[in-house]
Chain A
Amino acid sequence: MSLLSPEPGLLFWMMLSFGIVLFVLAKYGFPIILKMVDTRQNYIEESLQSARKAQEELARVKETGETLLANTRKEQAEILKETIRKKDILMEKAKEEARLEADKIIVAARDQINAEKEMAIRSIRNEVSRLSVDLAERILREKLVTNKDQMEMIDRLLDEIEISKS
């Protein structure tokens, strides 16, 4: 039957066309398609991996940041507390010092006042004694002409002084 016997002409054309198709496609067609699909698959895989890595990195960074923040906050609180404490101490000290200084000043002032008072009293006394001597001189010059009078007078005066002193 002619259907089952291959025609040499068609065999020739088939070999020619199939050969060319096979050569072209098996060399330049399918390998490129397979390679490109492979490339894309690798690329997608890599992208996924790097995305995952980036995400992990991000989480890590976030965590570090949070710890850092918490630490800083704690430190800040501590510093604040310390500062307050120091301030209190300083103020206490300052107060104490001020008090001491004030006391000193007061004592010195009192001493000076006393000294000045003493001096003033002394000068007044001198003045008074000089005046009284002058007065007495003048009075005595009038009254006490005799020695006896003079002596009586002195005694009496001395007594008076003694009495007033005692």
Chain B
Amino acid sequence: MRQYSYIYGLLATFILLLSVSPLSAENSSTLPGKELNVREFILEHVADSYEWHVVGNGEKNLSVPLPVILCSKTSGWHLFSSTRFHHGETAYKGFHIAREGKYKGKIVETDASGNEMRPLDLSLTKNAASLLFASLLLVVIIMGVARSLKRNPLEAKKGFAGIMEMFVMSIHDEVIKPSVGEDYKRYAPFLLTIFFFIFTNNLLGLIPLFPGGANVTGNIAVTMVLAVATFLVVNFSGSKTYYKDILWPDVPTWLKVPIPLMPAIEIVGTLTKPFALMIRLFANIMAGHSIVLGLTTLIFITVSLGSAINASMTVLSVFFTIFIDFVELLIAYIQAYVFTLLSAVFIGQARISHASKPAVQETKPLFLKDK
């Protein structure tokens, strides 16, 4: 019981922080004489950045400097702190952060003919740093639980290790085991890693304070790597039946002989599955961040409409932000769950042999993707 109240306490604190901190952090955009561009504001916060803004009002900012790593075609490798750009105001070593154009917000260099071009940019950006932090956190937590279990395996764990064990086993028993089928043991570690990786990053993304708040799983590069990992695992574990069904499916011969119509469709099908995984996770998390930011900006938009409206809208905004944060908490779990479930189902489908052909299908939770 005590553990639960502890969690509720944590949640409450966390929601409180969520609802309060944007008020102070986003003041920067309401400087006198400066209209708030909501679209810009949201896109800027959802996108990646070279420094990690912690707190500040536009004039005085506390940011965590992050290393910029570049490989230019002309001048080779560079490594320097992101503070050199002074929040994008100045150029350094011929590099600057583009303000306009298709490279907006990215580091570009200007070549001899005056064109902007991007160097190979391996900078440890806000998202990358958050990713590393989340990875470290996850490894520490899971290895801690594993060690605590290993030390005394015959005793039921209490406290955090107990909760984590229950969590791991619930995903293992209710998602992976029934979806993958027979040899689920081979894929369980991969799928569990996928689940907890996504879940950790989703949760960290919801915390607006320093080590969290980055829109990591709402970034297409991140979800792409996850989806590619699933794609590789699915197709490397494909059975003969699976490949036969793709390359020579049970359809009238004219659909496959002169023009391989069905095989083409099937091959595209294998690609669309991980593609859908990638887009679903990305869109859900990004949308969640956008909604929270949008609701927060309500306060600043309505400033010009008089204090009465502004005050009421502030209350409304805080209320809705809290509500959406709860929904986001749910989404954080559901999206990790759906990604894992579908990966497990795809692996299960790829493992099918003629001997046993259970009717595996995409189950209900699929529809949860729609917000």
Contact = CB atoms under 8 A, between A and B. Distances in A.
B204 interface: no
Interface in B178-213: 185, 188-190, 192-193, 196-197
B120 interface: yes
Interface stretch (A3-11, A65-73, A132-140): A3-11
Interface string A123-143: 000000000000000000000
Contact of B225 (A4, A15, A29): A15
Interface in A90-115: none
A3 B225 contact: no
A43 B225 CA distance: 40
Given A26-B190, A43-B154, A8 B142 contact: no
A37 B172 CA distance: 11
Contacts of B221: 6-7, 10-11, 14
Interface string A20-48: 11101111111111101101100100000
B224 interface: yes
Contacts of A21: 135, 138-139, 193, 197
A39 B42 CA distance: 50
A26 B146 CA distance: 12
Interface string B124-153: 110110011001001100110110011001
Contact of A2 (B102, B121, B145): B102
Contacts, number: 137
B277 interface: no
A136 B192 CA distance: 157
Q: Is the interface of A mostly helix, strand, loop or mixed?
A: helix
Contacts of B172: 34
B165 interface: yes
A40 B122 contact: no
A15 B229 CA distance: 10
B220 interface: yes
A21 B189 CA distance: 11
A30 B149 contact: no
A13 B149 contact: no
Nearest to A12: B122
B121 A9 contact: yes
Nearest to B129: A13
22 contacts: A2-B106, A3-B46, A4-B220, A9-B122, A10-B222, A13-B125, A14-B225, A21-B135, A21-B193, A22-B190, A22-B197, A26-B189, A27-B189, A29-B142, A30-B168, A30-B188, A32-B149, A33-B145, A33-B146, A33-B149, A34-B185, A43-B154
Q: Which 9 A-B pairs have the closest CB atoms?
A: A26-B189, A6-B221, A13-B128, A36-B149, A10-B221, A36-B153, A32-B146, A29-B142, A17-B135
Interface of B: 43, 46-48, 69, 102, 104-106, 120-125, 127-128, 131-132, 135, 138-139, 142-143, 145-146, 149-150, 153-156, 165, 168-169, 172, 185, 188-190, 192-193, 196-197, 219-222, 224-226, 229, 286
Interface of A: 2-15, 17-18, 20-22, 24-34, 36-37, 39-40, 43
Given A3-B220, A5-B220, A14-B128, 19 more contacts: A2-B102, A2-B104, A6-B224, A7-B219, A10-B128, A13-B127, A13-B128, A18-B197, A21-B139, A25-B189, A25-B196, A27-B189, A28-B146, A29-B189, A32-B146, A34-B188, A34-B189, A39-B154, A40-B156
